[in-house]
Structure 1
Amino acid sequence: MSLLNQLFNRGVLGAKCKTCLNLVISRIKLLQNKRDVQLKLMRKEIAQFLLAGQEAIARIRVEHVIREQNIWAAYEILEMFCQFVLARVPILESQRDCPLELREAVASIIFAAPRCSDLPDMLQIRNLFAAKYGKEFISAASELRPDTSVNRTIIEKLSVSMPPAEVKLKVLKDIAREFNVEWDSSNTEAEFTKKREDLLDGPKQIAVGTALSRSHSRLETPQYSPPNVAHSVTPTTAKQGIQGLASNFSSSDANKTEQSLKDRDVRTCNGDVENQMRPQSSDVLERARAAIAAAERASAAARAAAALVNVNFSSWKPNEVKS
């Protein structure tokens, strides 16, 4: 490129940059005046909500107030940077790389351009800087790489994250003090300091607890107590009842009971709560073993009672029954 073309392009770049910077500065002043009026109305509405006891609505509205205040502060810094760059446009034209004293201002304008929709002229300035310094310089400032010099206050004020609870509480107290509202902030402080629980784990825990309770209720078996042989019964009926009880609690039935309980435990564990019920499988087996042990004890008691009845039956006389 000839020297004449370089001088011509340099003059065109400087003229466009100055025009866009002047437009941005004038637009920022208009937006700040408009935003001042809006902020006063919003703060007044929040004071009315606090006076009416509607703190929940005030806590929501205060986030918008903080957002507008942050944008107002960011615009004020951007206006200062634009004026700083406007006064040094000839220096930008004369040097190939961005000067160190202008690096923070230029990088901050590049970073804020896509985040300030009310200032479309800043995108034009960003494109001019991209043509001057290359896309790599623009990407470094936009992505906040370590070698960039974007102003930290600009980054903080243009952030879209939710403001901290301390900041919201401070703004609410300032609004109440500004409009002379007697407001007790204890409820709001408790709401801000309350820990939020993850609601996604709630239904899962309830479902697991319900499934475990159902499985435990299924696996619970009635406790059998040995028959009371102290009552006066005839040897024939006592022997028949004890033999039937002993047959019900034989060792083969005990094995079948254990196998059925294990099969039922396997079917339960293969359900929808298989992964959650693995830690409780040992408890289920313990309950099954306890039920089997109770059945064996009842069977042993039945056999002992049968032996006792046999002894009494051998010494029984028909004359005693008639008398």
Structure 2
Amino acid sequence: MSSLNSLFNRSTFGTKCKTCLNLVISRIKLLRNRRELQLINMRKEMVQYLQTGQESIARIRVEHIIREQNILAAYEIVELFCEFVLARVPIVEVQKECPLELREAISSIIFASGRCSDLPELMHLRNLFTTKYGKEFVAGAMELRPDSGVNRTIIEKLSVKAPSGESKLKVLKAIAQEYNVEWDSSNTEAEFNKKYEDLLDGSASSVHQVQAPVIESSLVASASRDKPPVLISPVEDAEKPHVRGSPSSPAGSARAYAATKTNPSAQEHHSPAEEISCSSPSSSDALEKARVAIASATRASAAARAAAELAKVKITSQ
């Protein structure tokens, strides 16, 4: 009974495997014709972009062309592997383990099943091989383990990694040469060879350059805050003319403080009167007016005292 079941299972596996393989081969032929037409139209559009000088669009669209070319190449490899396995289905049925001569073909078919959505029959084949060889064998092919045996070319063609600038430039030159387009590839070549790390470094340096004046201004402001205030009389402050850029302004005080920092000896030998005289262009006139105001105030206070004494005398006499 067990021998009958095993024989029945073998015949079932062989029949399903042959059916799926034939369907994959037929579908690949249909898809190849459709994708080849799409690829021709895309290459013609690329010619128009190059002729009209729209190189920025061409540099982006060329990635789609490379992607289509890679898919067509992968379909061709899958078709060859399917035909190879189809011719050896009886050997696969008999042997319990995967034959060494079929390991690359079967592993590549399993790997392509998860990356070729246009070929749903590959998923059925993967399920059949999972039943036949176990989950570990299928997982090794899907995860590209070292002993998986997946074809390296099909791994490269089905990779989702963006194409390099060299490959894109090569395709653009081939299209221009095929359609006899006079196209100067120097700008595109320079764009592909541009190192974007340098752009990031440049932006960082520009940020430092912008922040440098802010730091310097903050240092000057802190220095001006640390400077001791200069005492000026109210009369002098009222009479002193407002001159732009004078030391009494914040900018002037900062510059004066910076000058005293650079020449400390001059700061040590200046007297307070000299500091006051240097604080304004017309300091001598202001001092003279201050003396006159003080004298008049003294006379006014003396007159007030005399009036007070006179009032006291009158009160006492009464």
Supply the AA of the counterpart residue of 2:268.
Answer: S
Residue in 1 aligned with 2:44?
44
The yes-or-no answer on 1:300 pairing with 2:269 is yes
Q: Is contact 1:71-1:157 (8 Å) kept?
A: yes
Normalising by structure 1, report the TM-score: 0.69
Q: Is contact 2:260-2:267 (8 Å) kept?
A: no
Residue in 1 aligned with 2:164?
164
Q: Is contact 1:258-1:292 (8 Å) kept?
A: no
Residue 204 of structure 1 deviates from its aligned partner by 6.3
Counting aligned pairs with the same residue, the percent is 62
Residues 1:170 and 1:200: Cα distance change in structure 2 (over 3 Å): closer
Q: Is contact 1:258-1:289 (8 Å) kept?
A: no
d(CA) in 2 for partners of 1:61, 1:79: 28
Residue in 2 aligned with 1:8?
8
Residue 59 of structure 1 deviates from its aligned partner by 1.0
Residue 74 of structure 1 deviates from its aligned partner by 0.5
Normalising by structure 2, report the TM-score: 0.70
Q: Is contact 2:66-2:168 (8 Å) kept?
A: yes
Higher mean alpha-carbon deviation, 93-102 vs 53-62, is at 53-62
Residue 161 of structure 1 deviates from its aligned partner by 0.7
Higher relative contact order (CA 8 A, sep 6+): 1
Residue in 2 aligned with 1:71?
71
Q: Is contact 1:35-1:72 (8 Å) kept?
A: yes
Residue in 1 aligned with 2:118?
118
Supply the AA of the counterpart residue of 1:41.
Answer: N
Cα offsets for 1:26-79 (capped at 9, x unmatched):
000000001111111110110111111111111111110000000000000100
- State the superposition RMSD in angstroms: 3.0
Q: Is contact 1:108-1:141 (8 Å) kept?
A: yes
Residues 1:222 and 1:291: Cα distance change in structure 2 (over 3 Å): farther
1:195-274 superposed matches below 5 A: 195-197=195-197, 209-220=209-220, 257=226
Q: Is contact 1:221-1:291 (8 Å) kept?
A: no
d(CA) in 1 for partners of 2:128, 2:92: 11
SS in 1 for 2:114: helix
d(CA) in 1 for partners of 2:260, 2:86: 89
d(CA) in 2 for partners of 1:67, 1:50: 19
Residue in 1 aligned with 2:103?
103
Residues 1:173 and 1:297: Cα distance change in structure 2 (over 3 Å): same
Supply the AA of the counterpart residue of 1:21.
Answer: L
d(CA) in 1 for partners of 2:194, 2:211: 31
Residue in 2 aligned with 1:83?
83
Question: How many aligned positions are there?
Answer: 247
Residues 1:40 and 1:296: Cα distance change in structure 2 (over 3 Å): same
Residue in 2 aligned with 1:180?
180
Residues 1:293 and 1:56: Cα distance change in structure 2 (over 3 Å): closer
Supply the AA of the counterpart residue of 2:140.
Answer: A
Residues 1:146 and 1:258: Cα distance change in structure 2 (over 3 Å): farther
Q: Which has the larger radius of gyration?
A: 2
d(CA) in 1 for partners of 2:23, 2:269: 101
